[in-house]
Amino acid sequence: MQRPSRNVLAHTQNFLRSGALVDRLLDASSIHAGDLVLDLGAGLGAITRRLASRGCEVFAIEKDADLWERLQQTMVDVPNVRVLHADLVELRLPQRAYKVFSNIPFDVTADVVSRLTRGTCPPEDAYLVVQREAADRFIGQPRTTLPAVLLFPWFEASLFYRFRRTDFAPAPRVEVVMLRLRKRGPPLVAPTEAQLYRDFAVALFTSHAACITDALQTVLGHQRALRLARALQIGPETSTDLPPRRWLELFQAAAHVAGEELRWRVTHAEGRLREQQRKLRKLHRTRVRRLDRAIEHAPPQSRIPSSERSRTLPGLCVATA
C-alpha cells in the first residue's frame, strides 16, 4: 500500500500539544489502571505515554511508517506498550474487553467508528478526537442523522470535550471535539433483530417520501402506517425531526404490527446503500487521479503547488478515505 504523502498527513493529523490536557481528559474518563486501551493513530505518542504511565495495557497503532518507527524507538523500554504498524480501517480488534482513547486522523473518522461499533467485540468505551461536524452526525444533533439512528441501540454517543485549536500542532482549521461512544449493556435491540432494525432505518431514512408517515406506507401499507403514526403521535415530521430514541420506538411498533412481513419488505436496504456509497467513493478516487494527472501535465506556470493542493481539494481528499 502506498504511503500517504506528508501533505496529506499534515492535512489529516493534528497532534495534541499538552500531556497535562490528556491527563485531565483521562481523569474524567472511565479508563483505569489495568485496562486494555487502543490508541489509534498514535502519532508521536502523546496519548500513549499518558496511558502507559497510568498502568494501562496499551496497543499504539500507527499507519505511517516514519511515525511508527519513531514511536517504536521511544517506547522500546515501556513494557506495557505494544506499538503496531497497521491500517486503522483494517485493524483486527481485540477479542477481549478493551477501551479506546485516540486522536484519529479526521479523514477516516467514519470508517474507524464503523469498524469499532460493528465488530464482533466492540469497545466498552471509546473516546475519539474528531471534527465537530462528525461528532454531531453520530450524536444526532441538532438534527437526527442516519448514522445516529444506526448507532443508538448499541452505543450512547455524547460530546465529551471541546478543544481549542491551539491545543494542537498544527492548529486545525476546523472545530475539534472529543466524541464519547459508550457501549450499552445490554443493547436496546436483540441480536436476532439487529439487521432488521438497520434495514428498516435505512429504508425509511433514504425514502423520497415527504415525511416519515408517508415513508412508513411503503413498508407497512397505507392503513397500517396511518394507524401506527397516530398511535405514536407522529405527524408531519421528517426523518431528521425524529430523535433516535423515537426511531427505536417506531421500529418496535412496526415489527409488532407487520411481523415477518416487515423483514422481506426492507431486506438488504442497508446493503444497497453501502454499495451505492462504495461506487461513489470509487468515482471520487477516479476523479482525484485524473486531476492529479492533469496537474502533472499542465504548463509549469499553471500548476498548483502541492502545499496548496490539499487545501484546494479538501472535499475530494476526505471522500477518498
The mean-pLDDT minimum among 64-78, 102-116, 148-162, 298-312 falls in 298-312
For 86, the 3-state DSSP assignment is coil
E strands, 6-154, in order: 15-16, 36-40, 57-62, 81-85, 99-103, 125-131
Contact at 8 Å (CB) between 40 and 63? no
Tens digit of each residue's pLDDT (9 = 90 or more) over 131-142: 999 999 999 999
pTM score of the predicted model: 0.83
Cα–Cα distance for residue pair 16/12, rounded to 1 Å: 13
Contact at 8 Å (CB) between 62 and 42? yes
Backbone angles phi, psi at 158, to 5 degrees: -150, 160
For 115, the 3-state DSSP assignment is helix
Cα–Cα distance for residue pair 159/217, rounded to 1 Å: 35
Mean of per-residue pLDDT scores for the chain: 87
Confidence category of residue 3, pLDDT binned at 50, 70, 90: very low
For β-strands 125-131 and 176-183, DSSP reports them as: antiparallel
Tens digit of each residue's pLDDT (9 = 90 or more) over 172-197: 999 999 999 999 999 999 999 999 99
Kindly compute the dihedral angle of the four CA atoms of residues 76, 79, 85, 86, in this order, to the nearest 10 degrees: -170
Per-residue CA distances from 188 to 22, 133, 193, 199 (Å): 32, 26, 10, 16
Confidence category of residue 204, pLDDT binned at 50, 70, 90: very high
Backbone angles phi, psi at 83, to 5 degrees: -100, 120
Residue 62 clears pLDDT 50, i.e. is over it: yes
Helices (H), 152-205: 194-205
Cα–Cα distance for residue pair 113/227, rounded to 1 Å: 36
pLDDT at site 285:
59
Size (the chain), residues: 321
Residue 185 is classified by DSSP as: S
Retrieve residue 95's grid coordinates: 477479542
pLDDT at site 249:
97
Give me the CATH code for the 6-183 domain, please.
3.40.50.150
Residue 217 clears pLDDT 80, i.e. is over it: yes
Cα angle vertex 122, ends 63, 42, to 5°?
A: 25
Cα–Cα distance for residue pair 25/35, rounded to 1 Å: 16
Strand-by-strand arrangement of the 155-162 sheet: 81-85, 57-62, 36-40, 99-103, 125-131, 176-183, 155-162
Task: Please state at what angle helix 244-258 crosses helix 222-231, rounded to 10 degrees.
Answer: 130
Cα–Cα distance for residue pair 104/43, rounded to 1 Å: 9
What are the residues whose beta carbons fall under 8 Å from the beta carbon of 64, sequence distance 6 or more? 3, 4, 9
Residues forming beta bridges with residue 47, ordered by sequence position = none
Tens digit of each residue's pLDDT (9 = 90 or more) over 268-299: 999 999 899 888 876 755 554 554 554 344 44
Residue 303 clears pLDDT 70, i.e. is over it: no
Confidence category of residue 13, pLDDT binned at 50, 70, 90: confident
Tens digit of each residue's pLDDT (9 = 90 or more) over 65-107: 999 999 999 999 999 999 999 999 888 999 999 999 999 999 9
